Amino acid sequence: MQLFLPIAEVSVNAFVLIGIGGIVGFLSGMFGVGGGFLITPLLFFIGIPPAVAVATGANQVVASSISGVLAQFKRKAVDIRMGLVLLGGGLAGSGLGIWVFAQLSAAGQVDLFVQLSYVLFLGLVGVLMLQESLRAMIRARRPGGAPVRRSHVHTWVHGMPLKMKFRASGLYISVLPPFMIGAFVGFLSAIMGVGGGFIMVPAMIYLLGMPTKVVIGTSLFQIIFTTAFTTVMHAVSSQTVDLMLALLLILGGVVGAQFGARIGVRLRADQMRVLLALLVLAVCIRVGLDLVLRPAEFYSITLGHLP
Amino acid sequence: MRHALALLFCALAPALALTLAPAAQAAEEQVIAGLSQSSVSITADFSGTEILVYGAVKREAPAPEGGPMRVIVTVQGPDIPVTVRRKDQRYGIWLNNASVGIDAAPSFYAVSTSAPLRQALSETEDLRHRITIPRAIRAVGISEEADNSPAFIEALLRIREKEGRYALRENSVALTEETLFRTDVMLPTNLTEGDYVVRVFLTRDGKVVDSIRRAIWVRKAGLERFLYESAHEQPLLYGLVALITAAIAGWGASALFARLRW
């Protein structure tokens, strides 16, 4: 069924959109990532203009994150206090990110910067996660070698002031590291047009030492607010949120997120991290190839004047 | 008195005929054209449309000597400023390195002819009436900077042709007995709102004999119109509605699946 989208001004198949929403929602519910880093390239691929894809993608991520976080709430897997600290940092960081984005637009190199950020951060996070989770899997499989589980590891993070108790995570640490992580992710998400879950999740696991089960719900909780902020910002400043496109993506997304959340519970934590790492690396390689391979068409057309 | 009037009329009649004659000769072949529809509504299920352009040649006298008659039909969409960028390899990666702004490029341009273009139209007439795609583009808004970079204009034409926005369809106008003509012009799904100008040219020996101009109104309608206008007139409210929709959908799916106890 072909449908004409009022803001994107293209006609696309409604079932393709529901399908894209469903796949991204599924992954979102399973891994606790918003899925922005997936949905934006997928929308480009089916011919949605980039500005509309970024803004509407953010709106879809709000819906699938809410759907996912409610499922996590039922399992008491959300650390609200930690989420609020991350969010505080996130809003500060995204304010700075929006300013930097405007500066880069004036210089005319936003596309490049966004692509490089994708390759760099997706690549880094993907490799680190893959390496760590594979090592954990091998360790678990070694005969008689049930891994020595320490309740948590003391790192430099634990020696900082302003300590606070995060009961759901079983942590007693300074608020500064989560605030800084939030700010860093907020900054990147404003520039890359994503929720930032793929950076947030490993940062919470490896830097803060939070248990994997709590990480997903907390990440989703934080992403809801970041992407809600982004959606309204885009709607007001550039009128690029397409409600009809968003509705179809959401329809697929919220259902997908429910399935994802349930499948996620059945997977072992280390298996889940391997899968997420592979997914992140796949997107990284895809974006990276565009930069390195000789393009079929050297020229591109964008509507509007030069900034 | 009555005689006097009759005399005056007799005296004036030849004079009137003389003054009218040159005008009649200039337009001895006139084109009359109609469109199957003069407005296009873009609704949710819009998937492109075909416009039938038809018409006839009106003659007071037998067809003049000379080459055969040809018909050219052009359809032009609203002009929009665009930026054309070129990627170059720097430090091993491909990045946008040069760009040229074009003040106004038609969002759609289709040329249909009844014969191969170069038989139907001479270069000079093309230049004067700005009929073919490259001429029409240069007519509207090429800055000096862009004019000095023909590669960028060529790229614009090439990309838009691939997208189906620009098209030259030779021999697609059916012409009967040098009098009746018709052609179908396909408007694609990615239409830009605005007034589309349809021009019909009659040519002989590559020279334009007569032309006519018609307009098609292309507008969003129904839900499309409503969403588009809300997004632009009430952006904050629109953004909040988008959020609330997302929240309700997210919560609804969660509640539904909880009830299913699956």
The yes-or-no verdict on residue A123 having pLDDT over 80 is yes
Q: What is the pLDDT of residue B198?
A: 93
Most confident of A39-43, A160-164, B205-209: B205-209
Q: How far apart, in Å, are the Cα atoms of B111 and each of B88, B120, B167?
A: 33, 12, 6
CB contact under 8 A, B82 and A262: no
DSSP A12-73: EEHHHHHHHHHHHHHHHHHH----HHHHHHHHHHTT--HHHHHHHHHHHHHHHHHHHHHHHH
In Å, how far is A219's CA from the nearest CA of chain B? 16
In Å, how far is A188's CA from the nearest CA of chain B? 21
Q: Across the interface, which of B95, B241, B253 has its CB nearest the CB of A254?
A: B253
Q: Measured between alpha carbons, how far is B171 from B111 in angstroms, rounded to an integer?
A: 10
Contacts of A70 in chain B (CB under 8 A): 250-251, 254-255
Chain B contact probe: residue of A2, A7, A263, A301 with most B CBs at under 10 A: A301
Which structure tokens are listed for B10? 């007799």
CB contact under 8 A, A291 and B93: yes
The yes-or-no verdict on residue A49 having pLDDT over 80 is no
CB contact under 8 A, B191 and A9: yes
Say how many domains are in chain A: 1
CA angle A135, A136, A141 (to 5 degrees): 100
Q: Across the interface, which of A6, A59, A111 has its CB nearest the CB of B246?
A: A59
B175 residue type, one letter: L
Q: What is the pLDDT of residue A132?
A: 80
CA-nearest of B204, B50, B211 to B115 is B204
Q: Across the interface, which of A67, A232, A294 has its CB nearest the CB of B250?
A: A67
Count CB neighbours of B74 within 10 A.
Answer: 26
Q: Residue A12: inside a domain, yes or no? A: yes
Listed in sequence order, the residues at least 6 apart from A268 whose beta carbon sits closer than 8 Å to its beta carbon are none
Q: Residue A306: inside a domain, yes or no? A: no
Domain that holds residue A104: 2-140+155-292
Q: Measured between alpha carbons, how far is B219 from B216 in angstroms, rounded to an integer?
A: 10
Mean pLDDT of the region A286-307: 74
Q: Across the interface, which of A243, A244, A298 has its CB nearest the CB of B87?
A: A298
Contacts of B190 in chain A (CB under 8 A): 9-11
In Å, how far is A293's CA from the nearest CA of chain B? 8
Q: Across the interface, which of A66, A244, A299 has its CB nearest the CB of B155?
A: A299
Q: What is the pLDDT of residue A152?
A: 52
Decide: A171 and A210 in contact? Cβ < 8 Å: yes
Q: Residue A40: inside a domain, yes or no? A: yes
Q: What is the pLDDT of residue B11?
A: 47
ipTM of this predicted complex? Answer: 0.75
CB contact under 8 A, B81 and A305: yes
Listed in sequence order, the residues at least 6 apart from B40 whose beta carbon sits closer than 8 Å to its beta carbon are B49, B51, B187, B191, B196, B216, B217, B218, B219
Q: Measured between alpha carbons, how far is B198 from B216 in angstroms, rounded to an integer?
A: 7
Contacts of B46 in chain A (CB under 8 A): 4, 11
pTM of the model: 0.72
Q: Residue A146: inside a domain, yes or no? A: no
Specify the higher pLDDT residue, B8 or A164.
A164
CB contact under 8 A, B94 and A9: no
Q: Residue A184: inside a domain, yes or no? A: yes
In Å, how far is A270's CA from the nearest CA of chain B? 25
- CB burial of residue B36 (10 Å; 0-12, 13-18, 19+): middle
Q: Residue A229: inside a domain, yes or no? A: yes
pLDDT tens profile A240-281: 888 889 988 888 888 887 888 788 778 777 777 788 888 888
Q: Report which secondary-structure segment, H or E, holds A172.
A: strand A171-174
Contacts of A297 in chain B (CB under 8 A): 155, 158-159
- Does residue B192 belong to the interface with chain A, where contact is any CB pair within 8 Å? yes
CB contact under 8 A, A255 and B231: no
The dihedral built from the CA positions of residue B69, B75, B79 and B83, taken in this order, carries a sign that is negative
Q: Residue A147: inside a domain, yes or no? A: no
Q: Residue A148: inside a domain, yes or no? A: no
Contacts of A64 in chain B (CB under 8 A): 250
Q: Measured between alpha carbons, how far is B187 from B50 in angstroms, rounded to an integer?
A: 6
Q: Measured between alpha carbons, how far is B121 from B139 in angstroms, rounded to an integer?
A: 17
Mean pLDDT of the region A197-219: 81
Per-residue pLDDT of chain B (262 residues; tens, 9 = 90+): 455 544 444 444 444 444 444 444 455 788 888 889 888 888 878 878 889 999 998 888 777 777 788 899 999 988 888 888 888 888 888 877 777 877 778 889 999 999 888 888 888 888 888 888 888 776 555 555 655 677 888 888 898 888 888 988 888 888 888 889 999 998 888 788 889 999 999 988 888 888 999 999 988 888 888 888 888 888 889 889 999 988 898 888 778 877 776 5
Q: How far apart, in Å, are the Cα atoms of B84 and each of A50, A129, A157, B93, B96?
A: 16, 40, 49, 19, 10
Q: What is the pLDDT of residue B199?
A: 92
Q: What is the pLDDT of residue A304?
A: 64
Contacts of A59 in chain B (CB under 8 A): 242-243, 246
Count CB neighbours of B51 within 10 A.
Answer: 20
3-state secondary structure of B101: strand
